[in-house]
Chain A
Amino acid sequence: MRRISWFNATSLTLGFAFLYIPMLVLVIYSFNANKLVTVWAGFSVRWYGELFRNEAFLDAAWVTLRVALVSSLLATVLGTAAAYVLVRGGRFFGRTLFSGMLYAPLVMPEVILGLSLLLLFISIGLDRGMLTIILAHTTFSMAFVAVVVTSRLVAFDRSLEEAARDLGCTRWDAFRSVTLPIIAPAVISGWLLGFTLSLDDLVIASFTSGPSATTLPIKIFSAVRLGVSPEINALSAILIGIVTVGVITTSLISKRSIMKRIAEENRADQ
């Protein structure tokens, strides 16, 4: 076993302190009774109560969830198809353009994506609302799904697919019964990534939403632009809590499946 050096231990401690202290402070102070966010005045869940009575926030949260669910599912189908085509599809007309368009949204500033999509919706006369946000989110989430799935596709043994084909599977059968089960973890994490990206997006949603549909980040942004607010602290703590539980659960599940695989391999070796 390797021992960790003094220098590396310090880097890790300082690095994780930097990453976690701000979020920790936010969660602790969400239980502050005081309306002045930075002055502690005793423990209270008052702001959580206020938050759940705030209709506007609840409506926005509902819109956000629906947009995230639909757009992440669409993005998963399109992104997986795109990744498969790029890794296994061989040469086809306009492949470079295709991979460029697929990966560019990963880094493209959101203001540019938002503006260009809005101008598209206006020029084809599509009213801004939930549908336009879904279309916009699908487009950028697709890139993230594709990256996650691509890394899994390039890593796995191609001969498994070829064996299935040799044994008389059609290309589609081979994909469904061999490829898909192997890349499934990546497809699921791509979907989750698309889902959280959609939940979180402010800039693109601001451009593409209309008065009929306001998402949670838009609400949060207009509230925090003016300053810190105890209600937003409570909301932030809830969101941080959901993500923490989600990430820890998935990493435990994946750890268990890795353990199981190692155990099976050991059994097979014996």
Chain B
Amino acid sequence: MRRVALIALPYLWLLLLFFVPFLIVLKISLSDTALAIPPYTPTLDLARGWEGFTEWWSALDVDNFIFLTTDSLYWKAYLSSLQIAVISTLLTLAVGYPIAYAMSRAPDEWRPTLLMLVILPFWTSFLIRVYAWKAILSQEGFLNQFLSVFGVDPLTILNTNTAVYIGIVYTYLPFMVLPLYAALEKLDDSLLEAAEDLGCSRMKAFWLITIPLSKQGIIAGSFLVFIPVMGEFVIPTLLGGSDTLMIGKVLWEEFFSNRDWPVASAVAIILLLILIIPIVLFIKNEEKQWESDV
């Protein structure tokens, strides 16, 4: 009896507040925009039974999805989000791997402190960490003040895609470092020693042993960066320029500025379809990790 309650409580919560909402998004993406509150038609009237259902069913259409394909803004935003997400995932991996590697090779008594130093920014407000870069990268900002000491002309970084990349690498770095560190920490040193004894150069041993054995960390870290960045809204809005096109920003504006809920829902559905495979792979990878730990 208690077991049923234990399963049912979180299960029902997730069904009601996670699963059902997606069905509603799907439904609204198939509705027409209307100048009303809520600004869409039709609504499903369950009180009228089967008749209500068929009426609602026949009123559904895919106009919003067709609209998304006719206006180049949308597919350009999807492509540009994809590009930004791929490049920034690779950048975060390139920045994060040496840090995680050095942490895992550090003396044992340093490790708790190093780990704490990575976790601290992770607990600090995301919004504030993005905001910090505004004052650094602006035309009169700290970076240009610093560079002017060396006689370098002011750089225009804020409100460009470069600023977006810097912001993403900065804020998502702990998400990359932590799974990488978890994987690298488990690495058995004797494997590397054996490789060296057998005549492997250190570089070759790194590529042949360290990288493959940290694969799960690389996968987990990359998904933890790539998937949320695809829908990122705060970073492109605060650091990007008017030409920074990201689908999260488009969805936000469609919803809050244009108040076109059906189109916003269609945008969300397509984004979800793009991300469903990475999300499933991410969950599978997590479960595999739990199982290997048991």
CB within 8 Å of B: which residues of A? 1-5, 7-9, 11-12, 15-16, 18-20, 22-23, 25-26, 29, 37-39, 78-79, 81-82, 84-85, 87, 89, 92, 94, 97-112, 115-117, 119-120, 122-123, 135-136, 138-139, 142, 147, 150-151, 154-155, 171-172, 193, 196, 199-200, 202-203, 206-207, 217, 220-221, 224-225, 227-228, 232-233, 236, 239-240, 243-244, 246-248, 251, 255
**B116 contacts which of A79, A150, A247 (Cβ < 8 Å)?**
A247
Interface centre among A9, A87, A106, A119 (most CB of B within 10 A): A119
Given A22-B133, A200-B127, A4 and B121 touching (CB < 8 A)? no
Residues of B within 8 A of A243 (CB): 120, 123-125
| Residue among B14, B145, B233, B256 facing the most chain A CB atoms (10 A cut-off) | B14
B219 at the interface (CB under 8 A from A): no
Asked if A25 and B136 sit within 8 Å, CB to CB, the answer is: yes
List B contacts of A105 (CB < 8 A): 18
15 A/B residue pairs, CB under 8 Å, sorted by A:
A8-B106, A15-B98, A16-B117, A18-B173, A23-B124, A39-B140, A87-B290, A89-B3, A92-B7, A109-B228, A110-B231, A123-B24, A171-B3, A206-B256, A246-B123
Q: How far is the CA of A144 from the CA of B287 in the complex (A)?
A: 15
Across the interface, A119 reaches (CB within 8 A) one of B121, B224, B261, namely B261
Task: Report yes or no: B125 in contact with A217, Cβ–Cβ below 8 A.
Answer: yes
A84 to B129, CA, bound (A): 34
Which of B52-60, B63-71, B191-199, B271-279 participates in binding chain A? Answer: B271-279
- Tell me the smallest distance from the CB of B167 to a CB of chain A, in Å: 10
- B132–A236 touching, CB < 8 Å: yes
* In contact, B255 and A224 (Cβ under 8 angstroms): no
Contact with A along B234-255 (1 / 0, CB 8 A): 1001100000000010011001
Cα of A106 to Cα of B226 in the assembled complex, Å = 12
Please determine whether B129 and A23 come into contact, CB atoms closer than 8 angstroms: yes
Interchain CB contact under 8 A, B268 and A228? no
Question: Once bound together, how far apart are the Cα atoms of A227 and B140, in whole Å?
Answer: 12
The 7 residue pairs across chains A and B that have the minimum distance between CB atoms = A109-B231, A116-B21, A8-B102, A11-B98, A15-B99, A82-B10, A107-B227
For A29, the closest partner residue in chain B by CB is: B135
Say whether B112 faces chain A, with CB atoms less than 8 Å apart. yes
B35 interface residue, CB < 8 Å from A? no
* Residues of A close to B19: CB separation below 8 A: 97, 101
- What is the CB-to-nearest-CB distance from A31 to chain B, in angstroms, rounded to a whole number? 14
A111 in contact with B268 given A105-B18, A119-B21, A225-B238 (CB within 8 Å): yes
Across-interface contacts of B142 in A (CB, < 8 A):
25, 38
| B9 sits at the interface (CB 8 A) | yes
Which A-chain residue is minimally distant from B44 (CB atoms)?
A123
- Closest Cβ of chain B to A254, distance in Å, is 8
Question: Do residues B124 and A239 form an inter-chain contact, with CB atoms below 8 A?
Answer: yes
A25 touches B233 (CB 8 A): no
Given A4-B102, A109-B231, are A22 and B170 neighbors across the interface (CB < 8 Å)?
A: yes
